[in-house]
Structure 1
Amino acid sequence: MKLECVREQLTEAVSITERIAKRHPTLPILNYLLLSVKNNSLVIRSTNLELGIEATIPVKATSEGIVAVPAEILLNTLINTYNTSVSLEVKGNTFSLKTPTSETLITTVSPDDFPTLPTITTKPLRFNEGDFLKGIKSVWYSASLSTVKPELGSVYVYPEGNKLVFVATDSFRLAERIIPTKQPYEFKPFLLPVRAVPEVLRVLERTRGDMTVRVGEHQISFIFNDLYLTSRTVEGTFPDYRQIIPKEKATEVVLLKQDLLLIFKKAMVFSGKFNQVGITVYPKKKQFIISAKSDIGETTDTVTAAIMGEDVTINFNLKYLTDCFQAITGDSVSLTFNGSGKPMVIRDVSDTSFLYLVMPMNR
């Protein structure tokens, strides 16, 4: 293998793929990047057996080949190399990275044991990258971090006519985002594991336009111009969550998002080890009260809001309440209640495509 390429392009490709390469006690090859050169293209691959990624950049190759190079060492070398172009060459088990002013030699290993990435042959689906990114980011924080119920540690994605629906829940709260599409989609609903989401988001955030998605039996792939990302999907059945979303409301409060967030931030200081905050609504008095109390003290705020319905007093985990605001872009939010002991629903007043449901605390 011998080639020349632009250092900036190579550094970006290695940076994207290096994050997936992790230390593995029984499979040390997973600490490496697989570099292969063919037809003046350099393909850089990494995998942790659950996620896999390939990045492709154009190069000027004088000979083709394949090599496995330590991921972290290669990235650190490139980050601290300042020339515009670099030359790469493999001689025996040594990988050479040259610039006009420097040369770095890195010991390689045999690429024979490097895992292949799965190829999914199902019907390709064209999605807008921005829509998919918005759907995932709106809900993934609500997924469970526990591995006891893998289906709850996932983002559930399914088609519904001319809409894509993204849902996540840990059984204490639930987030749903509905994305309108220009055309109806037909594909098998899938569960994307939450541990794969950060890398999927990172790739989506660096791209623009459309992408190709293929949904297989146990795998999903995302294909861009210069990137191929694949992930395992979770086996299991997502709960029938629609049955727990209240169809009616006994009490509704509409107020400015920033006013609510400011009070929540203060309440967090006094919410104690259980992050408990109390909400009391008196529609006749037009009072919406937020309070928190712990060993260090207590705080109470009455917020200006539009209120209708019945009186209600209820406690929530404050962290769960604040998590959803990253998905709300409007100026005002709606909080609806159906009495004590029942879930609260938070919506963006200006965008009904997002719904967030929070279960109350018992104590």
Structure 2
Amino acid sequence: MKFTCTQENLSRGLNAVGRVASKNLALPILNNVLIVAEGGVVKLQATNLELGTTTIVRAKIDQPGRYTVPAKLLGDFVNFLGHEQIHCQAKENGLTIVSGHSTTTIRGISAEEFPVMPTITSPTTVTLPARELATGLEGVVFAVANDESRPEISGVFIRAQDKKLVLAATDSYRLAERRLDLLQGEQNHAGVIVPARTAQELLRVLPQSEAEVKIAIGDNQIQINFDELELVSRIIEGHYPDYEQIIPKTWATTIVVDHQEFLANTKAASLFCQPGINDLTLEADEKQLALSAANSQQGEHRATLSAKVTGPKTTTVFNYRYLLDGIQGLAGDEIQLQLNDGQAPGLLQNMKQVGALYLIMPIRQ
């Protein structure tokens, strides 16, 4: 294998795929990036057996071939090189890199040991803008459960329904959902559970642009393609909870409050919540919403916000951390909070942000 490319292109490609490579003592090959030179391009691949990424680097191929070297070492080294041509050649003792006045050899492993990337058969395929997918993932991924004993809620649920891509995440204390309009995709799919790490890596590499993202959902994997990057991830086995059943169909009390005022006052009140309980009391009355908290060590706090309130008075106690996540995850000038009673969940929405909701369970007294 022998090729020439620019430092900038190789660095960009390695940064795109390198973080997926895992530190694996049992399988050292997983620490490596696979470099494939063929067809006028250099293909870079990395995998941790849960998620695999592939990208393309423009290059002049002098001799086709393939080789693997440690992803982090190669990425760090290339980042230090100047913006000039890089000449790479696989030899018996490693990958030789010539740039400027330096010659470097990085020890590697035969490409024969590198895992074969899976392919998806008969997928459901949808397309949407990259910016929309990034915004949707940001709006749900924080609610994923960090609980290995419940793998079915340790990822983001993704399904295609009625020309929309539905994203949902829950840890059983709160639920975040986003419904995104599709550019293409008529076929429905019952849904798959994507590991949180896959969602986070996708967020890292997604461009904030109108670039089209193609998602192929299969029975065992999900594949995401955009620009010159491809991600293939396994899915989590199991059935995602039928969360729509726990969302109340009717609400007794509806509160509309200024977004930034609600956010700032929730943060202020959180300083006085009881550690470990994080209890913040919300009291809705005519034309106002009161936030209060108290603990024996810090003191007590109460603030009253102007609000549009319809329905009876109600008092509900929430974990302030979950409440803050919901407020921060929504856009717009106003937040709508709907409640039934102190024992039922509350629903946060911005009515101008179509397709976004956040359900939060109360701290039952």
For the criterion TM > 0.5, the same-fold answer is yes
Contact kept? 1:43, 1:55, Cα under 8 Å: yes
Aligned residues: 361
Q: TM-score, normalised by structure 1?
A: 0.95
Aligned to 1:174: 175
Equivalent residue number for residue 347 of structure 1: 349
SS in 2 for 1:325: helix
Partners of 1:33 and 1:68 within 8 A in 2: yes
- Name the SS for the 2:57 alignment partner: strand
Q: Aligned pair in 2 of structure 1 residues 188, 287: CA closer, same or farther (>3 Å)?
A: closer
Q: Give the fraction of aligned pairs with identical amino acids, expressed as a percent.
A: 32
TM-fit CA distance, 1:258: 0.2
Contact 2:140 2:168 (8 Å CA) reproduced: yes
| Residue 49 (str. 1) matches residue 49 (str. 2) | yes
Kindly indicate whether the alpha-carbon contact (under 8 Å) linking 1:280 and 1:314 is maintained by their aligned counterparts in 2: yes
Question: Are 1:87 and 2:90 counterparts?
Answer: no
Letter in 1 for 2:335: V
Aligned counterparts of 2:235 and 2:149: Cα–Cα separation in 1: 16
Displacement after TM superposition at 1:40 (Å): 1.7
Query: Structure 2 unaligned runs (5+)?
Result: none
Q: Is the 8 A contact 1:144 1:169 kept in 2?
A: yes
Q: Check 1:130–1:122 CA distance in 2 against 1; reply closer, same or farther (3 A cut).
A: farther
Structure 2 counterpart SS, 1:77: helix
Q: Which residue identity lines up with residue 119 of structure 1 in the other structure?
A: T
Note the 1:294-309 alignment, pairs <5 A: 294=295, 295-309=297-311
CA distance in structure 1 between the aligned counterparts of 2:300 and 2:274, rounded to whole angstroms: 10
Aligned to 1:157: 158
The letter of the residue matching 1:36 is V
**Contact persistence 2:40–2:58 (CA under 8 A):** yes
Instruction: Decide whether the 8 Å contact of 1:96 with 1:104 is kept in 2.
Output: yes
> Would the aligned equivalents of 1:156 and 1:167 in 2 still touch at CA under 8 Å?
yes
Q: What is the alpha-carbon distance in structure 2 between the residues aligned to residue 65 and residue 205 of structure 1?
A: 31
CA distance in 1, matches of 2:208, 2:41: 20
Corresponding letter in the other structure for 1:282: D
Match of 1:104 in 2: 104
Residue number in structure 1 paired with 2:68: 68
Instruction: Name the Cα RMSD after superposition.
Output: 1.6
1:83 to 1:131, Cα distance in 2 relative to 1, 3 A: closer
Deviation, structure 1 residue 124: 5.9
**Residue deviations 1:220-247, cap 9 Å, x none?**
1112241121001111111111121111
Greater mean alpha carbon deviation, residues 208-217 or residues 144-153: 208-217
| In structure 2, C-alpha distance between the alignment counterparts of 1:330 and 1:95, rounded to whole Å | 52
1:268 deviates by 2.0
2: CA distance, partners of 1:99 / 1:195? 35
Match runs of 1:108-119 below 5 Å: 108-119=108-119
Equivalent in the alignment of 2:221: 219
Deviations 1:87-142 (A, max 9, x none): 11122122111112222221112222111110112246241133332322221211
Contact persistence 2:211–2:227 (CA under 8 A): no
Give yes or no for the alignment of 1:249 onto 2:247: no
- The amino acid across from 1:47 in the alignment is T
Pairs within 5 Å for 1:1-363: 1-123=1-123, 125-128=125-128, 129-182=130-183, 184-205=186-207, 208-273=210-275, 274-283=277-286, 286-294=287-295, 295-363=297-365
SS at match of 1:19: helix
46-55 or 226-235: bigger deviation: 226-235
> Helix, strand or coil for the counterpart of 2:239?
coil
CA distance in 2, matches of 1:30, 1:123: 27
Partners of 2:94 and 2:108 within 8 A in 1: yes
- Extract structure 1 runs of 4+ deviating beyond 4 A: none
Output the CA distance in 2 between the equivalents of 1:211 and 1:344.
33
Per-residue CA distance 1:317-362 (angstroms, 9 max, x = gap): 1110111234322100111110111111101032242111100012
1:195 positional shift: 2.4
CA 319–179 in structure 1, closer or farther in 2 if over 3 Å, else same: same
Moved more, 227-236 or 196-205: 196-205
Cα offset for 1:83? Answer: 3.2
Amino acid at match of 1:14: L
Q: Provide TM-score, normalisation by structure 2.
A: 0.94
Contact 1:126–1:210 (8 Å) recurs in 2: no
Q: Within 1, Cα distance between the matches of 2:121 and 2:227?
A: 18
Pick closer, same or farther for the CA change 1:126–1:352 going to 2, 3 Å. Answer: closer
> CA offset at residue 32 of structure 1?
0.7
